[in-house]
């Protein structure tokens, strides 16, 4: 079983601050995905990273895949209340499994 | 475009009762899966299917059965509900079993077992 660990589990910051959340594993992944989930809804895909060392940007969100393809990070610049949600990383070589998630709250 | 549809949205069961959670997708996706979500636990994989007629176990399969007789449908059965199965259940589908393709989720079924 390929385990994904996310940190921190909870994060609460002021609007306008920057933050980074992490997704780590002892296993190598062919790709990793980041999803965001809002209350009462299913997760929605933000990005997929495939190549070791890859960096992808989605507006104020920057995703990085580790060189060894065992970890990933999500950096948010100038956080806004709309960024509030549960962030999940997911991956797997034959079945899609997820980490425990980071619950992010942005305080206006 | 409906995407992934789960029914019911809410359900209360008594211990020992059985029920089926329904999941249907209209995107002709081969890969479908069921997850449960508990506080602080993220999404845990229960069962998954890479195509019609093929199913396999995930991380937490005990107490649940699945079947995949058609590409569109992937029902999850609880044979004898237990309070430990109180959770929010999500069904997901993706184009194929190759990882890296986008998974689309239903809106979830909130199940309470008393």
Q: Is residue A40 within 8 Å of residue B107, measured between CB atoms?
A: yes
Give the helix/strand (H/E) hosting B110: strand B109-113
pLDDT at B101: 83
In angstroms, the CA B31 to CA B10 distance is 25
* Coil, helix or strand at residue A83: helix
DSSP secondary structure letter of residue A80: -
Exposure string of A23-48, with b = 16+ CB inside 10 Å and e = fewer, is bbbeeebebbbbbbbeeeebbebbbb
**Of the partner residues B41, B45, B100, the one whose CB lies closest to the CB of residue A48:** B100
Q: Return the ∠ at Cα A9 (arms to B32 and A44), rounded to 5°.
A: 35
Residue-wise pLDDT tens digits, A28-45? 998 999 999 998 899 999
Residue A1: band (very low, low, confident or very high) from pLDDT cuts 50, 70, 90 = low
Residue B78: pLDDT over 90:
yes
Residue-wise pLDDT tens digits, B33-46? 999 999 877 899 99
Residue-wise pLDDT tens digits, A90-105? 998 778 899 999 999 9
Q: What is the mean pLDDT of chain B?
A: 94
Q: Do A41 and B106 touch (CB under 8 A)?
A: no
Q: B43 CA to chain A: closest CA distance, Å?
A: 6
Nearest to B4 by CA among B105, B109, B72: B105
Residue-wise pLDDT tens digits, A44-74? 999 999 999 999 999 999 999 999 999 999 9
Residue for token pair 């008393």: B114
Instruction: Search chain B and give the residue with CA nearest A29.
Output: B99
């Amino acid at each position: 079983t390929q385990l994904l660990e996310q940190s921190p589990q909870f994060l609460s910051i002021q609007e306008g601050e920057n933050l980074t959340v992490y997704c780590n594993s002892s296993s190598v992944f062919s790709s990793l995905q980041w999803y965001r989930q809002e209350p009462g809804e299913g997760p929605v895909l933000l990005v997929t990273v495939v190549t070791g060392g890859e960096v992808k940007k989605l507006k104020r969100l920057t995703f990085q895949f580790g060189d060894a393809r065992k970890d990933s990070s999500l950096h948010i610049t100038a956080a806004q209340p709309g960024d509030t949600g549960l962030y999940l990383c997911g991956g797997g070589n034959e079945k899609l499994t997820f980490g425990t998630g980071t619950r992010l709250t942005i305080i206006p | 475009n409906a995407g992934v549809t789960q029914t019911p949205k809410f359900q209360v069961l008594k211990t020992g009762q059985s029920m089926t959670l329904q999941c249907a997708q209209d995107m002709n996706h081969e890969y479908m899966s069921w997850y449960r979500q508990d506080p602080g636990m993220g999404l845990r994989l229960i069962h998954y299917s890479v195509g019609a007629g093929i199913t396999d176990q995930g991380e937490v399969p005990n107490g649940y059965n699945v079947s995949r007789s058609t590409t569109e449908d992937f029902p999850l059965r609880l044979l004898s509900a237990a309070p430990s199965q109180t959770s929010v259940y999500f069904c997901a589908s993706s184009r194929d079993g190759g990882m890296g393709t986008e998974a689309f989720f239903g809106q979830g079924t909130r199940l309470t077992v008393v």
